[in-house]
C-alpha cells in the first residue's frame, strides 16, 4: 500500500478500531475458534473486543498463527491483519549462546549470524517481530537479566546492538525471510538499584547520555523497527509514562520513527508505581508519553475511548500511533500476504538444520572464555586418562532462561561431545545442579532437585572415588539457567552449596583439576580459582554447547573469547566495571597503602577477580610499545596509534587487541579507562602483525560542565593491550 492509502485507511477507521490497533494481547486470550473467557476480567475488556487487537504475542507455530490471524482478519471491519510477536532472544529452535556470552566474541559478525539464524527460523514458523535485542548496558552481576545484554562496555554494547538488529532484520526492506527487531528496554533498564529486578534507576543525565543511550542509538541507526519501554523509573518517573524520555529524547533527539510498545502490563504498573490512580489515568500518561502499543494491561482498550470522548486525549495522538503501526504492517507485507509462513519454500529454511547447528557450534566456541590454564592443563589429549564429573556433564538444559522454543532434548551434552572424540568416555554427575530439595521457577518451567541429602552424599562420595582413580579430572559446575533471566536477581552469586561440596571432595583426592563453569551472569568463582588448574567459562552455550566445549577441551578450537563483563571478586563489589571513575583518594590494587582513609575495602581488593576484556588462549601474544603517528592533534584532526602483536606460542590463535583511552584532566570527572576500539586478529606461531587504530575527535567527546557534548583540550593516555588492565601506553595532546 502507498502511504496515502494507509492514511485513507486510517481516516476510515472508527475510534474503536484505532484503539484496537494500539492493543497487544497474549495468545492465552485466543483459541483456534476465537477469543476465550478468562483474561477479559483481568484486562477489563469484553472478550468480543479481543479480535480487534492489532498485535498478539506468545503464539508460535505457523498453523496456529495462521488460524488465529485468519479469525482476527475476518472480524476486523477493515480486515487489518494482526502482527505476531514473541521473545526470540538467542535462538528459535537452534539455540545459540546467550547474548552476554555473545559479547565475549568481540565480533559483530557472530552477533549478526546469531540474529540471522534465529530470525529466519522464527519467520519461517510464522512470526513477524521478536522482542530483541536487549541492549541495556549492565554493570551489576546480581541482576538476572545481565544474560540478555552484551555487557558493560558502551562501545562494545553499541556495536553488538547494531549487528544484532541487522542480523534479525536482514537486508530486505520488508524483512523478507527475517523478523522486525524490537530493541529493548528504553531506557537504562540495566541499572536497577541493588541489582534487584524492576527496581528504580537513579542516574545523572550525564551518565544516562554517555553510557546508557548510545546502544539504543546504535540500534536506531541500524533501523530497528520497534522499541520497547522499560519498567523502571528514571528521575523518579516511570519511563512508560515519561513524555520527556519518550517524545523528547527517543523521538525528537534520537530520531526514532518506529513503533513504541510497552513491556508486559507496564502501563498498568503506573498504578503500582503510585503515579496513576487507575487505568484511565495510566492510559492517559502512556499515550501522552508516546507509547503506541499497550502490551497486556488492557488500559488502552478499556479506557482510551472515554479519554478521547471527554476531550482529555486528542484523537490526533491516537492517529499518530495507529499510522506508525499501519506503516509497520505494510512494511512487513501483511496487507498483501498476511501469512508470512507461506513463504517457507522461498526462505529455504529448515528449523534446527545441520547448517544452523554447525554455525551454532562455531559461535559457541567463540564465546567460551579461558580464565586460567596452569601448566598448560588444557587442551587434553585424546588418549589421556580423564574423569568427567559434575551435574553439567550430561545436562541438556544449557540453552538459557529465555530459550522457550528450543527443545532441550535436542541439545548436545558435554559427554556426548567428548564421546565424539573419545568413544570410551563416561561421566558421573556427583550431585544435582541445585541443592537437595531446592526449586527455582521460570516463566514456563521450573526445576527441582529431588535427590535427598543422603543420596547426594553417596553420589558425591562415588564421584570422589572416581576422581581418585584417574590422572586428570574435568569438573562441570554452574548455576541453573533458571537462576538467571527476568526475575533472576541474586544476592549470592556463587555456585550452589552442593556443588561446592562436590568441588571440595574431588579436590581432596585429585588436584589435577579443570573446571567448566556454566552461568548466565558473572559469578563469584574464588573457590574454583583457588582449586582448579584450568577454568573454562562457557556461559549458557546453546544447542551445540557440548560439541563446542569438547572442541575447546581437546584443542580442535583454540579459545579466543574475552570477558564482556567483569567477574567480581565477590558480590560486595557489585556493581564493578572497567570504566570506573577517579576519586580524590583513588587506590590501585597492589599499592602498599597503610592510610585508612582511601577509596578501598578493608577486606577485599578493589579489582574484580577477572577484569573486563580478559581471556587466555592456548598460545601467547606479546605487544610492542604503542607508536603514535603524532603527539598532538587539533580539533577535527585524527591520529593513528599502533602496536605490533606477535604470536610467541606454538599454535595458531586469535587475539582481541583492545584500545582504551583516558582523558587525564577534564571539567568533569572522567572514567579511568574507556574501551574505544578493538580488532580481532589471527596469527600463526611466530607471526607478527601491526595493528593500527585511528583515534578521531568523536572518541574524545563527552558532556562537559555545561552539558555540551565536545572534546576538551588536554592530555590523553592511549592504552593498547590484551584486556582492560594489561597493555602498553602512550600519551598525546589535543590542542586548541
What are the pLDDT digits (tens) for 125-170? 999 999 999 999 999 999 999 999 999 999 999 999 999 999 999 9
Residue 446, helix vs strand vs coil: strand
pLDDT at site 345: 55
pLDDT at residue 344 above 60? no
* Angular region, 468: left φ>0, alpha ψ -120 to 50, beta rest: alpha
pLDDT at site 343: 57
Q: Which residue has the cell 492517559?
A: 284
pLDDT at residue 346 above 70? no
Cis bond before residue 366 (omega within 30° of 0):
no
How far CA 231 is from CA of 252, 298, 671, in Å, comes to: 21, 17, 28
pLDDT at residue 590 above 70? no
Q: Could you tell me the pLDDT band of residue 209, with boundaries at 50, 70 and 90?
A: very high
pLDDT at residue 589 above 70? no
Q: Which of 498, 338, 333, 328 is nearest to 429 (CA)?
A: 498
55 with 82: CB under 8 angstroms?
Answer: yes
DSSP 348: T
310 with 283: CB under 8 angstroms?
Answer: no
List the alpha helices (DSSP H) in 577-736. Answer: none
* DSSP-assigned states of every residue in 689-735: EEEEEEE-GGGG-EE-TTS-EEPPSEEEEEEEESSSSSEEEEEEEEE
527 with 494: CB under 8 angstroms?
Answer: yes
Among 116, 136, 263, 663, which one carries the catalytic annotation? 263
Exposure string of 505-531, with b = 16+ CB inside 10 Å and e = fewer, is: bbbeebebbbbbbbbbbbbbbebbbeb
225 with 331: CB under 8 angstroms?
Answer: yes
Domains of the chain, start order: 87-261 (3.20.20.300), 357-571 (3.40.50.1700), 619-735 (2.60.40.10)
Long-range contacts, 67-73 (Cβ 8 Å, 24+): 67/32, 68/27, 68/30, 68/32, 69/338, 69/339, 70/338, 71/30, 71/33, 71/34, 73/338
List pLDDT tens digits, range 447-498.
999 999 999 999 999 999 999 999 999 999 999 999 999 999 999 999 999 9
pLDDT at site 282: 98
pLDDT at residue 587 above 70? yes
d(CA 187, CA 246): 9
pLDDT at site 31: 86
What value does the mean pLDDT of the chain take? 95
Burial class (CB in 10 A: 0-12, 13-18, 19+), 24: buried
Mean pLDDT of 306-310: 98
pLDDT at residue 341 above 90? no
d(CA 508, CA 504): 6
Q: Could you tell me the pLDDT band of residue 340, with boundaries at 50, 70 and 90?
A: low
pTM score, two decimals? Answer: 0.97
d(CA 473, CA 377): 10
Q: How many residues does the chain have?
A: 736
How far CA 622 is from CA of 33, 123, 199, 626, 686, in Å, comes to: 66, 46, 44, 12, 11
Which pairing describes strands 427-428 and 233-234: parallel, antiparallel, or unpaired?
Answer: unpaired
Q: Could you tell me the pLDDT band of residue 594, with boundaries at 50, 70 and 90?
A: confident
- Is 385 designated active site? no
Which pairing describes strands 83-86 and 129-130: parallel, antiparallel, or unpaired?
Answer: parallel
Q: Could you tell me the pLDDT band of residue 32, with boundaries at 50, 70 and 90?
A: confident
Amino acid at each position: 500500500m502507498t502511504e496515502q492509502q494507509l492514511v485513507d485507511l486510517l481516516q476510515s477507521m472508527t475510534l474503536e478500531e484505532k484503539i484496537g490497533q494500539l492493543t497487544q494481547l497474549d495468545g492465552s486470550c485466543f483459541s483456534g475458534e476465537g477469543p476465550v473467557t478468562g483474561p477479559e476480567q483481568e484486562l477489563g475488556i469484553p472478550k468480543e473486543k479481543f479480535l480487534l487487537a492489532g498485535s498478539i504475542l506468545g503464539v508460535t507455530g505457523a498453523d496456529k498463527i495462521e488460524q488465529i490471524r485468519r479469525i482476527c482478519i475476518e472480524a476486523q471491519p477493515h480486515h487489518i491483519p494482526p502482527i505476531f510477536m514473541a521473545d526470540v532472544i538467542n535462538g528459535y529452535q537452534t539455540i545459540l549462546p546467550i547474548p552476554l556470552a555473545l559479547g565475549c566474541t568481540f565480533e559483530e559478525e557472530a552477533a549478526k549470524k546469531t540474529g540471522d539464524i534465529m530470525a529466519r527460523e522464527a519467520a519461517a514458523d510464522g512470526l513477524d517481530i521478536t522482542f530483541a535485542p536487549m541492549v541495556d548496558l549492565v554493570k551489576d552481576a546480581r541482576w538476572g537479566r545481565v544474560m540478555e545484554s552484551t555487557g558493560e562496555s558502551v562501545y562494545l554494547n553499541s556495536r553488538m546492538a547494531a549487528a544484532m538488529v541487522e542480523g534479525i532484520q536482514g537486508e530486505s526492506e520488508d524483512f523478507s525471510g527475517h523478523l522486525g527487531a524490537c530493541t529493548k528496554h528504553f531506557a537504562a533498564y540495566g541499572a536497577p538499584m541493588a541489582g534487584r529486578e524492576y527496581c528504580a534507576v537513579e542516574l545523572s543525565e550525564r551518565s544516562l547520555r554517555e553510557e546508557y543511550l548510545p546502544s539504543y542509538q546504535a540500534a536506531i541507526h541500524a533501523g530497528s523497527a520497534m522499541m520497547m519501554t522499560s519498567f523502571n523509573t528514571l528521575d523518579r518517573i516511570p519511563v512508560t509514562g515519561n513524555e520527556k524520555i519518550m517524545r523528547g529524547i527517543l523521538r525528537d533527539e534520537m530520531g526514532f520513527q518506529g513503533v513504541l510498545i510497552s513491556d508486559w502490563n507496564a502501563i498498568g504498573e503506573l498504578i503500582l508505581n503510585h503515579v496513576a490512580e487507575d487505568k484511565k489515568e495510566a492510559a492517559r500518561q502512556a499515550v501522552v508519553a508516546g507509547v503506541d502499543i499497550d502490551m497486556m494491561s488492557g488500559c488502552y482498550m478499556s479506557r482510551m475511548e472515554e479519554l478521547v470522548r471527554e476531550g482529555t486525549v486528542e484523537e490526533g495522538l491516537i492517529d499518530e500511533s495507529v499510522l506508525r503501526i499501519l506503516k509497520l504492517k505494510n512494511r512487513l507485507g501483511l496487507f498483501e500476504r498476511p501469512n508470512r509462513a507461506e513463504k517457507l519454500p522461498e526462505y529455504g529454511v529448515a528449523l534446527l538444520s545441520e547448517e544452523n547447528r554447525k554455525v551454532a557450534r562455531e559461535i559457541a566456541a567463540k564465546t567460551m572464555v579461558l580464565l586460567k590454564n596452569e601448566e598448560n592443563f588444557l587442551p587434553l589429549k585424546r588418549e589421556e586418562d580423564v574423569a568427567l564429573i559434575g551435574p553439567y556433564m550430561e545436562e541438556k538444559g544449557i540453552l538459557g532462561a529465555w530459550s522457550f522454543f528450543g527443545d532441550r532434548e535436542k541439545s548436545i551434552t558435554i559427554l556426548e561431545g567428548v564421546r565424539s572424540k573419545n568413544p570410551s568416555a563416561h561421566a558421573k554427575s556427583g550431585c544435582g545442579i541445585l541443592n537437595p530439595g531446592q526449586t527455582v521457577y521460570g516463566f514456563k518451567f521450573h526445576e527441582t532437585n529431588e535427590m535427598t541429602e543422603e543420596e547426594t552424599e553417596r553420589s558425591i562420595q562415588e564421584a570422589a572415588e572416581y576422581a581418585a582413580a584417574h590422572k586428570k579430572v574435568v569438573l562441570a559446575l554452574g548455576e541453573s539457567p533458571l537462576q538467571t533471566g527476568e526475575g533472576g536477581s541474586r544476592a549470592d552469586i556463587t555456585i550452589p552449596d552442593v556443588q561446592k561440596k562436590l568441588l571440595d571432595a574431588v579436590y581432596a583426592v585429585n588436584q589435577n583439576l579443570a573446571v567448566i563453569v556454566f552461568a548466565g551472569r558473572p559469578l563469584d568463582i574464588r573457590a574454583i580459582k583457588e582449586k582448579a588448574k584450568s577454568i573454562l567459562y562457557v556461559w549458557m552455550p546453546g544447542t551445540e554447547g557440548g560439541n563446542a566445549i569438547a572442541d575447546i577441551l581437546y584443542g580442535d578450537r583454540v579459545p579466543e573469547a574475552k570477558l564482556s563483563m567483569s567477574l567480581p571478586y565477590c558480590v560486595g563489589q557489585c556493581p564493578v566495571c572497567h570504566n570506573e571513575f577517579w576519586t580524590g583518594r583513588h587506590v590501585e590494587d597492589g599499592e602498599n597503602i597503610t592510610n585508612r582513609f582511601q577509596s578501598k575495602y578493608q577486606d577485599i581488593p578493589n579489582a574484580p577477580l577477572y577484569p573486563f576484556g580478559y581471556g587466555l588462549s592456548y598460545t601467547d601474544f606479546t605487544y610492542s610499545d604503542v607508536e603514535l603517528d603524532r603527539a598532538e592533534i587539533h580539533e577535527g584532526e585524527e591520529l593513528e596509534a599502533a602496536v605490533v602483536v606477535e604470536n610467541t606460542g606454538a599454535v595458531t590463535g586469535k587475539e582481541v587487541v583492545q584500545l582504551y583511552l583516558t582523558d587525564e584532566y577534564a571539567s568533569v570527572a572522567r572514567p579511568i579507562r574507556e574501551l574505544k576500539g578493538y580488532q580481532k586478529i589471527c596469527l600463526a606461531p611466530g607471526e607478527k602483525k601491526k595493528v593500527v587504530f585511528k583515534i578521531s575527535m568523536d572518541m574524545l567527546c563527552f558532556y562537559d560542565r555545561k552539558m555540551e557534548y565536545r572534546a576538551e583540550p588536554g592530555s590523553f593516555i592511549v592504552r593498547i593491550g590484551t584486556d582492560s588492565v594489561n597493555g602498553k601506553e602512550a600519551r598525546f595532546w589535543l590542542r586548541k
